[in-house]
Amino acid sequence: MIENTKKKPRLIISAANSGTGKTTITIALMDALRKKGITVQPYKVGPDYIDPKFHEAVTGRSSVNLDGWLLEESNNKYLFNKNNKDADISIIEGVMGLYDGYDKEPMIGSTAQISKMLKTPIILVMNAKGMSTSAAAVVYGMKNFGDVLIKGIIINCPASIRHYEILKETIEKHTNVQVLGYLPRLDEVQFESRHLGLIQSEEIKNLNNKIDKLSSVFLETVDINKLIEIANDVEALNSETIKDINDTYNVDIAVARDKAFSFHYRENIEILKELGAKIHYFSPIKDESLPSKCDGIYLVGGYPEVFAKELSDNYSLMKQIKEKADEGLPIYAECGGYMYLHETITTLTNETYKMAGVFSGGAYMKKRLQNFGYATIKADKDSLLFNKGDIVKIHEFHRSVVDREDEQPHVVVSKKEKKWYCGKAYKNVYGMYPHIYFPTDISIPRKFIKKIYLNKYKNNGEAN
């Protein structure tokens, strides 16, 4: 049972590298806990949009992103404490390998950093294919490289029961870390991937049945009581606060949300609400018009290239968005939303579909990632989100390029010695590939929402 509510019971699920089954083990654990009547608050390390949706499908609670590079320690602690007040246990899924983060720094932007920051024990997932005793060396190295709290091992997809027994014996003998069980290969519950990660949770048929199967097996093959015991054996965390939001604005913001546009941080929406906005979701695929109350638009990222035909077929909505842009309605578009505002999207199979046409030129899918990872932007001009000279930490992850005139940049993106131009503006519209996590810099959503407010009352002929 969960005992240490004041100390906030918690675990991190991590691994030595990507592709080991972290997400599978995480959702199996979350659902197993749920079946035992335990309320789970999920978190995800790093700027990921897809895994948190699986967490939400399992727990019924929004998963929150924690990030040691984008956010200060106080902000990470604040977000952690803020969201688990009514939960029995917090489960944090790591990013990539345990020590993978910003560039070559093992304790910046990594899961290991979050573990130390939040004083949270780590359960290491191992896919030990082709290994026996060498698995102990991997665990020993992972544990001692950064002196982190690895408190248990779960083996994912052992070749056989005998293989698991060998791994358990050698790891426990040579590392003093307990192996808590295994999850066998379950072909019927494998989750497919596409170019930016797993297939989205809302696209998977019979997802609940797959999760139920995973957690049922997990409860049979993993010592969940020991996991709960480890989660309880933690230190108390200091309560953290961030700068209060004193100014609020009475506006209505239309936010794109469907299978083509699902990449948004939960905290971005929460901060807009805290700043006074009423949020109205709409589907660029299905809805023929914007919400009736719409003072501004937030076009989030996603997979517009995958659903380009369906988006293109919804001509009436794109026409309305273009008309609103021409009228000066404030619109912020990031990554996939940025692509959508161009005249066309061309897929990898060389099919071209008409889009909203707010920005000139097209977006074109490429076979390889174009920009990936953490970077910093510096505003070259004033815009909907920035004042000239503003510097903000961001994240990029896309496989497309857009037509642009490089001599007219709106932001300059920097990653070590590499720099490139990004961003376009039209009247009160601003779009760019980089994703911004609003807790990184509260002034950005404040500028966005204030512009919406001023435009609303200017058009209404009212004064505050």
SS3 string, 254-313, reads EEECCCCCCECCHHHHHHHHHCCEEEEEECCCCCCCCCCCCCEEEECECCCCCCHHHHHH
- Check for a shared fold between 5-232 and 251-460: yes
CATH of span 251-460: 3.40.50.880
Share of the chain above pLDDT 90, in %: 73
Per-residue HEC secondary structure of 388-450 comes to CCCEEEEEEEECEEECCCCCCCCEEEEECCEEEEECEEECCEEEECCECCHHHCCHHHHHHHH
CATH topology of domain 5-232: Rossmann fold (3.40.50)
In order of 196, 272, 392, 433, the CA distances from 387 in angstroms are 31, 19, 11, 18
pLDDT digits (tens, 9 = 90+) for 208-242: 888 999 999 999 999 999 999 999 999 988 877 76
Q: Is the pLDDT of residue 1 over 50?
A: no
54 in helix, strand or coil? helix
pLDDT score of 178:
97
pLDDT score of 193:
54
pLDDT score of 195:
47
Q: What is the mean pLDDT of residues 2-21?
A: 83
**Would you kindly state where each structural domain of the chain is located, as residue ranges?**
5-232, 251-460
pLDDT digits (tens, 9 = 90+) for 364-414: 999 887 777 898 999 988 899 999 999 999 988 878 889 877 555 578 788
Pick the closest to residue 425 from 363, 376, 380 (CA basis): 380
Residues known to be catalytic: 335
Report the range of poorest mean pLDDT among 66-75, 88-97, 183-192: 183-192
Q: Is the pLDDT of residue 262 over 50?
A: yes
pLDDT score of 412:
76
Q: Is the separation of the CB atoms in 30 and 40 below 8 Å?
A: yes
pLDDT score of 4:
44
Quickly count: other Cβ atoms within 10 Å of residue 346's Cβ: 16
Retrieve residue 443's tokens: 């002034």
One-letter amino acid at 281 equals Y
pLDDT digits (tens, 9 = 90+) for 264-303: 899 999 999 999 999 999 999 999 999 999 999 999 999 9
**pLDDT bracket for residue 194 (50, 70, 90):** very low
Q: Is the pLDDT of residue 255 over 90?
A: yes
Question: What sections of 146-260 are H helices per DSSP?
Answer: 161-175, 207-221, 224-232
CA–CA gap between residue 433 and residue 414 (Å, rounded): 13
